[in-house]
């Protein structure tokens, strides 16, 4: 594939991942990390960028997103994909993008509530761009993303050249375990589950540029992933540094969005709010376009549902749900996201070690069940729905429960055991084949 196409798809990938949450989360993390900025960000990048990058590389090796669940029984595989695309599509991620784009991009400039009008305009723009399937790389990768990168670069340059102050004093968590805290926060971005959804778009974009062979798709995916990882890492580092040097304007700020708004106002003055509004709206739009395409691509490939019909249903549901408000969206949909994320990561980790064939069906089912059950416990803990007595017991006896990753070690052990059993089975079959041939 031509280098210019590789870069364009890489830029498109970066833009699809860069939602509002990815922009407003790092500043608050930077504020809490302060002088422990470097170790905290090292941990953060491992999980916030490393896990999604690993997921994309696995898809590139499989050369088809559907291969990830090929070893599972078909009903279980379909259930996983439908739940995933519902959660990262119209039930959670897309309505959240609409509401955040309005809250940070429009609401500061208007006096009355115009969420409904804005959501109609926003989802209409999403649908128009989503219909440009063959030109998605051109529109997002070659036009929208460079503009987004330029706006973010302006913010980053200002942060490093004229910081508002010295690095802040780290909170207790970052004083004692900066790397571990960064790892946990990076995992909580949930970008790994977004990578599973975006895999459908990225592999199709590579194929549309004339790259059909498995080896060619894998090489192209590696290059695309490198572009995404470099840009996303630079973005996270810059935004976290903004937060780390913003202590002078941070008093009373309850989230990264509020902190970023104050910082931009202090550095750029009144025009800064327009810059931030442009960044947020552009980031949210590229994310909703990518998710719309991912949902429609899956339903078209799996159920032969017409792309246009599925995309239209997705954006209509997104617009309707967005008007219920962000708090209601989080209350209803967040548990599903928190449970699906461990399952998605577990499947990716398994695909790294075990071929996605029916021969390994039992292993894949076991991994899904382990991650589902323990990931469910983690989700209930995050949502404060477990009795404190049970939480105390789990913290004492379950490794990584405090890090909301109690599923991780059991899944790794299950994969290792499956690999050993698979190797022994192959060796045994080889022995019998040799014995049969000798007879």
Kindly report, residue by residue over 117-133, the tens digit of the pLDDT.
999 999 999 999 999 87
CA atoms within 13 A on the CB side of 180: 11
User: What mean pLDDT is reported for the chain?
Assistant: 88
Reported confidence tier of residue 431, pLDDT bands at 50, 70, 90: very low
The separation between CA 338 and the C-alpha centre of its own chain, rounded to angstroms, equals: 12
Q: Which residue has the higher pLDDT, 438 or 83?
A: 83
User: Structural domains in the chain?
Assistant: 3-323 (1.20.1740.10), 332-439 (no CATH)
Q: What is the pLDDT of residues 43-54, one digit of tens each?
A: 999 999 999 999
Grouping H, G, I as helix, E, B as strand and the rest as coil, residue 301 is: helix
Q: Which two tokens stand for residue 282?
A: 């552009």
Quote the CA–CA distance of 19 and 291 in Å, as a whole number.
Answer: 11
| pLDDT surpasses 70 at 429 | no
Question: How far is it, in rounded angstroms, from Cα 356 to Cα 340?
Answer: 19
Q: Which residues, in sequence order, are CB contacts of 192 under 8 Å at separation 6+?
A: 51, 52, 55, 341, 344, 345, 348
How is residue 386 annotated by DSSP? Answer: S
Q: Model confidence at 434, in pLDDT bands (50, 70, 90)?
A: low
More reliable by pLDDT, 289 or 334: 289
Task: Choose among 169, 153, 160, 165: nearest CA to 246.
Answer: 165
Closest C-alpha among 385, 412, 414 to residue 400: 412
Residue 345 three-state SS: helix
* pLDDT number for residue 365: 96
d(C-alpha 72, C-alpha 412), whole Å: 18
pTM of the model: 0.89
Within 8 A by CB and 6+ apart from 19, the residues are 93, 97, 100, 283, 284, 287
Does 105 score more than 50 pLDDT? yes
Cβ atoms < 10 Å from Cβ of 150: 10
Spatial CA neighbour of 148 closest among 307, 285, 272: 285
CA distance to 89, 336, 354, 356, per residue, from 69 (Å): 19, 19, 12, 7
Number of neighbours of residue 279 by Cβ within 10 angstroms: 24
Question: Which positions ≥6 away from 9 have C-beta within 8 Å?
Answer: 137, 141, 202, 205, 206, 209, 220, 224, 227
pLDDT at 427 exceeding the cut of 70: no
């Amino acid at each position: 594939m031509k280098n210019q196409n590789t870069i364009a798809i890489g830029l498109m990938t970066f833009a699809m991942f860069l939602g509002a949450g990815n922009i407003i989360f790092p500043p608050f993390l930077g504020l809490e990390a302060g002088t422990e900025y470097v170790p905290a960000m090292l941990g953060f990048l491992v999980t916030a960028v490393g896990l999604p990058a690993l997921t994309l590389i696995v898809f590139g090796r499989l050369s088809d997103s559907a291969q990830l669940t090929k070893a599972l029984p078909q009903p279980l595989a379909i259930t996983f994909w439908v739940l995933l695309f519902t959660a990262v599509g119209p039930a959670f991620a897309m309505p959240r993008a609409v509401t955040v784009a309005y809250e940070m991009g429009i609401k500061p400039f208007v006096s009355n509530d115009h969420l409904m009008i804005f959501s109609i305009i926003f989802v209409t723009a999403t649908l128009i761009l989503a219909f440009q399937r063959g030109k998605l790389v051109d529109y997002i990768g070659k036009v929208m993303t460079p503009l987004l990168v330029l706006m973010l670069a302006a913010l980053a340059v200002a942060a490093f050249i004229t910081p508002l102050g010295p690095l802040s004093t780290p909170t207790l968590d970052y004083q004692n375990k900066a790397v571990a805290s960064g790892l946990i926060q990076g995992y909580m971005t949930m970008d790994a589950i977004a990578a599973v959804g975006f895999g459908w778009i990225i592999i199709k974009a590579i194929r549309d540029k004339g790259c059909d062979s498995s080896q060619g798709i894998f090489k192209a995916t590696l290059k695309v992933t490198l572009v995404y990882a470099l840009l996303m890492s630079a973005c996270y580092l810059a935004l976290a540094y903004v937060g780390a040097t913003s202590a002078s304007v941070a008093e009373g700020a309850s989230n990264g969005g509020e902190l970023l708004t104050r910082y931009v106002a202090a550095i750029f003055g009144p025009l800064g709010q327009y810059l931030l509004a442009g960044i947020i709206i552009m980031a949210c739009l590229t994310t909703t376009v990518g998710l719309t395409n991912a949902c429609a691509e899956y339903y078209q490939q799996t159920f032969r549902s017409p792309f246009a019909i599925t995309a239209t249903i997705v954006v209509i549901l997104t617009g309707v749900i967005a008007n219920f408000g962000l708090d209601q969206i989080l209350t209803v949909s967040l548990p599903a996201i928190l449970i699906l994320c461990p399952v998605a990561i577990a499947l990716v980790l398994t695909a790294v070690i075990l071929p996605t064939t029916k021969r390994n069906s039992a292993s894949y089912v076991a991994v899904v069940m382990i991650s589902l059950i323990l990931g469910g416990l983690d989700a209930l803990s995050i949502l404060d729905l477990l009795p404190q007595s049970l939480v105390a017991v789990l913290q004492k006896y379950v490794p990584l429960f405090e890090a909301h990753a109690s599923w991780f070690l059991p899944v790794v052990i299950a994969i290792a055991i499956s690999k050993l059993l698979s190797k022994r089975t192959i060796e045994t079959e080889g022995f019998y084949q040799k014995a049969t041939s000798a007879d």
